[in-house]
Amino acid sequence: MTILEVEHLRKTYGEGPRATHAVGDLSFSVSSGEFVCIVGPSGCGKSTLLKCMSGLLPASSGEVRLAGRRITGPPPAMALVFQEYGRSLFPWMSVRDNVLLPLRHKGLSKDEQRRLVTDSIDEVGLTRFGDHYPWQLSGGMQQRVAIARALAYQPEVLLMDEPFASVDAQTRSDLEDLILNVRDRYGVTVVFVTHDIDESVYLADRIVVLTPAPTEVKETLTVDLPSPRDQVATKELPEFAHLRAHTYRLIMRPSDHEDPVGATAGAVAHGSPK
């Protein structure tokens, strides 16, 4: 069942000669419970796309629909983890209060709120840091607070903008597995922006590859790797290597549209636009 549809989305910043065409003409859809990775070169408009999808930015034309309804403002069933995670935490609140804040108006009982906060903080492995302030934590820990906040909010759709871009390799694999685990247990739909190709292949059910700005969908790949994924075993599979190479070529050589070698192994090209 399709939960999210992006249809002929365009976004232009500014007007006249100084306008930036951040998103050219994007269409794709996401099924319920699916894990979709969006990859594309830096500055191609990935953050812009997520902001339009979450209703934070109005589209210049086209639309985004959540469960058939056109998105005009941030919907309550959606949570967003920002690329600038450090700046999305409230420095005057403890970790607990940061996680609690969005729950306050959801009409839950105090006990329920407390349980959700504690559970999600435990989930990201910050049990002992509930009373710390965000600025007392390292970058990776701050990012985990932002993730805990999104988890506690119990969204149907979780949008994540390069959430692991600035954490160390070890934390990164831990967090990747954490997100996969959460998806399996709660059936959340995840749209995950990254510019790390390995990461996208490891995490995704489907990868949407974008062109440089003005952005369009270059190709959509289905990732047929066995589940649950494993940091070592999955990455050793020949399919993994093929998918990785294929995606890499798509991004690095924008003029080379057809790539029969990469497309054969494991990847099913859903057709490039036009």
Partner 1 sequence: MSRRRSRSGLALALELAVPLALLGAWALWSSRSTSFFNPPLTDILDTFAETWIFERIPTDLAPSLARLLIGYALAACAGVALGLMLGSSPLAQRACAPLVEFSRAIPAPALIPIAITLIGIGNDMKVTLIAFVCFFPVLLNTIDGVSGIDPTLRATVQAYGLTRRERILRVVLPAASPQIFAGLRVSLSIGLLVMVVSEMVASTSGVGYFVLQAQQSFRIEDMWAGILMLGLLGYVLNGLFLLVEARVLAWHRGARASATADTT
Which residues in this chain contact ligand ATP in the complex, by CB under 6 A?
Answer: 13-14, 20, 22, 42-48, 83, 162, 195, 213
Residue 14 is a binding residue for partner 1 (CB under 8 A): no
CB 203, min distance to partner 1, A: 22
Q: How far apart are CA 118 and CA 126, in angstroms?
A: 10
Q: How far apart are CA 248 and CA 54, in angstroms?
A: 28
Q: How far apart are CA 251 and CA 249, in angstroms?
A: 5
Q: Out of ligand ATP, Mg ion, partner 1, none, which partner does residue 80 contact, by CB within 5 to 8 A per kind?
A: partner 1
CB 42 within 8 A of CB 162: no
Cα 270 from chain centroid (whole Å): 21
**Taking CB under 8 A as the criterion, which residues in 107-146 touch partner 1?**
133-136
Q: Out of partner 1, Mg ion, ligand ATP, none, which partner does residue 168 contact, by CB within 5 to 8 A per kind?
A: none
CB 86 within 8 A of CB 134: yes
**Taking CB under 8 A as the criterion, which residues in 70-89 touch partner 1?**
73-74, 76, 78-80, 82, 84, 87-88
Residue with tokens 């049990």: 127
**Taking CB under 8 A as the criterion, which residues in 39-58 touch partner 1?**
51, 54-56
By Cβ distance, which residue is nearest to Mg ion?
A: 47
Residues β-bridged to residue 220: 208
Using only the alpha carbons of the chain, give its radius of gyration: 19
Q: Out of partner 1, Mg ion, ligand ATP, none, which partner does residue 20 contact, by CB within 5 to 8 A per kind?
A: ligand ATP
136 versus 231: smaller Cβ distance to partner 1: 136
